[in-house]
């Protein structure tokens, strides 16, 4: 019989955050530029999967879904990721484009949360990114019926082999059912862990078409 004493006492697991402080006056007036600063720090600090972000969507019944995807671009308009447009997240965004993102860099005791609206990027930009992907990733995009029920793992392996054979030579074409979304932010919060749970939280929000900074209670 396994010993689950640790699991049974998870309420006693605690971490004290002491690495950094977050001064509102030190932050950029532009939250996207501030995000770039933190992301660069996370990359240079060799944080595990620094571009990984949780993406929350909801359907028409306000039933939420959550998964982890990878950030693949930052523009003046927001944050870009790619997916199968016929997946659960693609369908939910089509029905309700209000989404949320969360980046957690545990090694730096930092978190960034974003709320905004997701919109499809241009086909040209999606096609350009698709052509830059490794060939195996391109085949995966064609082979995966993302979020759809499948009978077993072998079904997916067989489908991959068929797609590989279909595009055995030459360039793999861009699939029309696949592409990018840009999340246009309406609020961005920067969180820095602090000792005794007195964390630093700074929220950017748009007021009169301009970003303002607010300090929030931990």
CATH number at residue 65: 2.30.110.10
Q: What percent of the chain has pLDDT over 90?
A: 89
pLDDT at 7 over 90: no
**Residue 42, Cβ neighbours under 10 Å: how many?**
21
Answer whether 143's CB lies under 8 Å from 156's CB: yes
Of 192, 201, 189, 181, nearest to 55 by C-alpha is: 181
Residue 154 lies in a domain: no
User: How much is the average pLDDT of 61-83?
Assistant: 97
**Residue 204, Cβ neighbours under 10 Å: how many?**
23
Structural domain of 204:
17-125+176-216
Of 25, 20, 34, nearest to 114 by C-alpha is: 34
pLDDT classification of 10: cutoffs 50, 70, 90? confident
pLDDT by residue (tens digit) across 162-181?
999 999 988 999 999 999 99
Residue 164 lies in a domain: no
pLDDT at 1 over 60: no
Residue 143 lies in a domain: no
pLDDT classification of 81: cutoffs 50, 70, 90? very high
CA distances (Å), 151 to each of 5, 86, 130, 140, 157, in order?
A: 38, 19, 28, 18, 12
Residue 11 lies in a domain: no
Rounded to two decimals, what is the model's pTM? 0.92
Of 102, 117, 113, nearest to 185 by C-alpha is: 117
Q: How many domains does the chain have?
A: 1
Residue 75 lies in a domain: yes
pLDDT at 190 over 60: yes
pLDDT classification of 5: cutoffs 50, 70, 90? confident
Residue the block writes with tokens 């592409």: 179
pLDDT at 2 over 80: no
pLDDT classification of 192: cutoffs 50, 70, 90? very high
Task: Check residue 143 and give its pLDDT.
Answer: 95
Task: Check residue 6 and give its pLDDT.
Answer: 77
Q: In whole angstroms, what separates CA 51 from the centre of its chain? A: 7
Task: Check residue 148 and give its pLDDT.
Answer: 93
Residue 46 lies in a domain: yes
Residue 144 lies in a domain: no
The set of catalytic residues is 197
Residue 170 lies in a domain: no
**Residue 195, Cβ neighbours under 10 Å: how many?**
10
Which alpha helices (DSSP H) does the chain contain, by range? 31-44, 88-95, 123-132, 135-143, 153-166
């Amino acid at each position: 019989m396994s010993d689950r004493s640790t699991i049974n006492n998870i309420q006693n697991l605690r971490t004290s955050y002491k690495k950094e402080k977050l001064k509102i006056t030190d932050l950029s007036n532009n939250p996207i530029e501030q995000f770039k600063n933190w992301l660069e720090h996370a990359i240079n600090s060799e944080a595990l999967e620094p571009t990984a972000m949780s993406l929350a969507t909801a359907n028409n019944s306000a039933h939420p879904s959550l998964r982890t995807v990878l950030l693949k671009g930052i523009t003046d308009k927001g944050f870009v990721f790619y997916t199968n447009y016929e997946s659960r997240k693609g369908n939910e965004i089509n029905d309700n484009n209000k989404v949320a993102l969360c980046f957690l860099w545990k090694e730096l005791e930092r978190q960034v949360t974003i709320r905004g609206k997701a919109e499809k990027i241009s086909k040209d930009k999606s096609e350009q990114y698709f052509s830059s992907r490794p060939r195996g990733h391109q085949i995966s995009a064609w082979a995966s019926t993302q979020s759809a029920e499948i009978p077993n793992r072998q079904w997916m392996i067989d489908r991959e082999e068929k797609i590989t054979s279909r595009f055995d030579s030459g360039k793999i074409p861009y699939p029309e059912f696949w592409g990018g979304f840009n999340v246009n932010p309406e609020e961005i919060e920067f969180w820095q862990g602090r000792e005794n749970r007195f964390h630093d939280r700074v929220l950017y929000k748009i007021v009169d078409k301009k970003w303002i900074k607010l300090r929030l209670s931990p």
